[in-house]
Amino acid sequence: MAAWDLSVTVEDLGADAPPITVSVTSDLHIGGVILKLVEKSQVKRDWSDHALWWEQKQQWLLRTAWTLEKCGIQADAGLIFMAQHKSLRLGLPNGLTLRLRACFSGPVFRTVLGICKMLNIRRPEELSLLRPVEEKKKKKDKDLSEELYDLTEVPLTSANIDPGCFPSYPVSRPCLYNGMPAHFADSLKTEKVYKMLSVSQPAPAPEAIAKLYRPASVVDKAHIHSRWLDSSRSLMQQGVQENDRLWLRFKYYCFHDLEPKYDVVRLTQMYEQARWAILLEDIDCTEEEMLLFGAIQYHINKLSLSEPQTMTSSPAMDDLDSALQGLEVKLDGADSMYFCFRPKRLTLKGYKQYWFKFKDASISYYKSKEESLGEPIQQINLKGCEAAPDVNVAGQKFCIKLLIPAPEGMNEVYLRCENEEQYSRWMAACRLASKEKSLADRLFQSEVQSIRSFLAMQQTNPNTHTDDSMSINTHSLVSPRYSKKYKVKQVPSRDEHLHRLTPRILEAYQNVAQLSLTDALLRFLQIWQALPDFGISFVVVRFKGSRKDEVLGIAPNRLIRIDLGVGDVVKTWRYNNMRQWNVNWDIRQVAIEFDGNVNMAFSCVTADCKIVHEFIGGYIFMSTRSREQSDTLNEELFHKLTGGHEAL
């Protein structure tokens, strides 16, 4: 073949250096081009991390055995020879910003694997990278630079992998030295950084909190979720440059195989993400719940500032089901009782009292106890249902919100209990029935007790006195909405504000003051997970056949259609009723088919449809994980479910 000249820019020689021209033939492979470049540069160094980047095509040439002809490269290609690992500024859930070396050539999924392995965060498939929401800065703040913690000298353990290869990554328990990975124990500087990763940090000043982005509507929340990077493509392909800033966040709210002993960083960052979601009002909660969250935060802050504590696991906290789903508990002998009942369609008519009977995995209701020997008005099968709490202990409101599977989606039913004892037993019964378990289950009593304990934590003791009143910074413990509520308008002094809010937090604090650091973190996450809006990511969409924009909520186990104007749930579909979903990449439309010949399609308004496709496929992937196979991570399956037509 005839030889021709190929000009390649070598990034390490500097921006002013001219390109290196090498003589090649079309049957020369990529590895041969790299060899010629290295020889002609006459620079002696380790080039093993370098690869060719094709700027015009926005792609890496990582298959070194492929020829120039097969890659489609001609003399005007304009290639760049650069390092695959570059410096990246990474914002963590706890507010720290790290500078570290990350892979810019592999898919983001692998980049996150490498970052999480270095930071000692297990189950990295639950996290991803997104572009940060820039905070509004005043002119006088423009000279302030963020504090960076440099980890660029810490080695990345992942090796370069052929882009066509999908290995099963080991995700087993790490080897720790003095409570931390060996690469953090090499110096006092990195050891300090690891302690900041694994211990909850003091909250910033109120002025700094006020500058943080706070979503004002569901549309604002939808715009945040439009910033997730594509897991199938590399950082370079998505326009991320060296030293750019990205956020590392938990994306999929399915926390698998949680072990406090090995998951110190993971648990702490999970807590921090939950904490800031509540403080910045990204998720709604009641006043009682907010005060309880504030009390647990105060307790965690006190423990974190005292002697270093080791995360421990107890028999009751061995896996995620018990650690984060302690509210899923069970009922004793009374299986018949009067309830106030309100189907969703009768919202305006309020609650009406019926006699309910619970048998097997279904509930039946009648006009009265006397008529319970005959046919019920309706029998509701609770298999696969969801039972969410709607509770206000101070107001003596004990409601159960049931989402019942139906061919066209999910129907909502509300049960209003007379007291917390009735609520505890029936909430437990509904949770059991959703998993096809009966009231005779051997764990019934312990789970009922767990619900009672949760309710007890929301009870306050106004006669409690403590000397800690002046040490609480209430601005960092509750959201601005509740902070303003307790501020006295006539006396706008900060001390008066603290005087009113501090006793309420300390009342709730008495119920959690005996918890260990590990149990306090887990309890905070447990209550967070029980919130009605937990784990829902929002996207503004346009459903096929509709003339208006609506909101699609993507939860760990279901899709939710929400009216954008009033915020009401229109319909719910569960993933386990999904037969298939497809994306028409030409018109950017997602189509989903459910059991019972139920079909729906929509186009995305605030995000690329690839983000929605990846969320759905990602949650289905999370559901395939099992405790028996928890030592490996099947990347090939993840890309099959999330990659779309551009999958590797």
Give the residue extent of every domain in the chain: 4-83, 86-135+145-304, 339-457, 537-643
The larger pLDDT score, comparing residue 111 to residue 137, is at: 111
pTM: 0.82
Do the beta carbons of residue 482 and residue 459 sit within 8 Å? no
353 burial type by CB count under 10 A (0-12 exposed, 13-18 middle, 19+ buried) = middle
The larger pLDDT score, comparing residue 372 to residue 132, is at: 132
The larger pLDDT score, comparing residue 195 to residue 175, is at: 195
Do the beta carbons of residue 131 and residue 246 sit within 8 Å? yes
Q: Is the pLDDT of residue 182 over 60?
A: yes
User: Domain 339-457, CATH 1.10.10.60 — does that match?
Assistant: no
CA distance 472 to 385: 41
Q: Is the pLDDT of residue 332 over 90?
A: no
At 550, the amino acid letter reads: E
- Residues 394-439 have pLDDT tens digits of 778 888 888 887 776 778 888 888 888 989 988 888 888 887 777 7
User: Domain 537-643, CATH 3.40.50.2300 — does that match?
Assistant: no
Q: Residue 405: count other Cβ atoms within 10 Å of its Cβ.
A: 21
DSSP state string for 555-624: -SSEEEEE-TTT--EEEEEEGGGEEEEEEETTTTEEEEEETTTEEEEEEESSS-HHHHHHHHHHHHHHHT
Q: What are phi and psi of 212, to 5 degrees?
A: -70, 150
Token pair listed for 205: 């000043």
CA distance 212 to 6: 49
- State the pLDDT confidence band at 315, using cuts at 50, 70 and 90: very low
| Terminal Cα distance for the chain, rounded | 32
Instruction: Give, in order, the Cα–Cα distances in Å from 555 to each of 278, 327, 394, 424, 646.
Output: 18, 18, 30, 25, 24
* Least trusted range by pLDDT, from 170-174, 360-364, 578-582, 630-634: 170-174
Query: What is the arrangement of strands in the sheet containing 578-584, beginning at the earlier edge strand?
Result: 569-574, 558-562, 550-554, 537-543, 598-604, 589-594, 578-584
Q: Say whether 537-643 and 339-457 share the same fold.
A: yes
Q: Beta strand pairing status for 558-562 and 569-574?
A: antiparallel
- Residues 467-476 have pLDDT tens digits of 555 467 777 8
Query: The domain at 4-83 falls in which architecture?
Result: Roll (3.10)
CA distance 95 to 98: 10
CA distance 147 to 137: 16
Do the beta carbons of residue 562 and residue 578 sit within 8 Å? no
CA distance 330 to 334: 12
Helix (H) or strand (E) holding 357: strand 352-359
Compute the mean pLDDT over every residue in the chain, rounded to the nearest whole number.
Answer: 84
Q: List, in sequence order, every residue forming a beta bridge with 79; answer none if it has no partner.
A: 8, 54
Q: For a pLDDT cut of 70, what percent of the chain falls above it?
A: 83
Q: For a pLDDT cut of 90, what percent of the chain falls above it?
A: 48
* Least trusted range by pLDDT, from 2-11, 287-296, 459-468, 568-577: 459-468
CA distance 594 to 599: 6
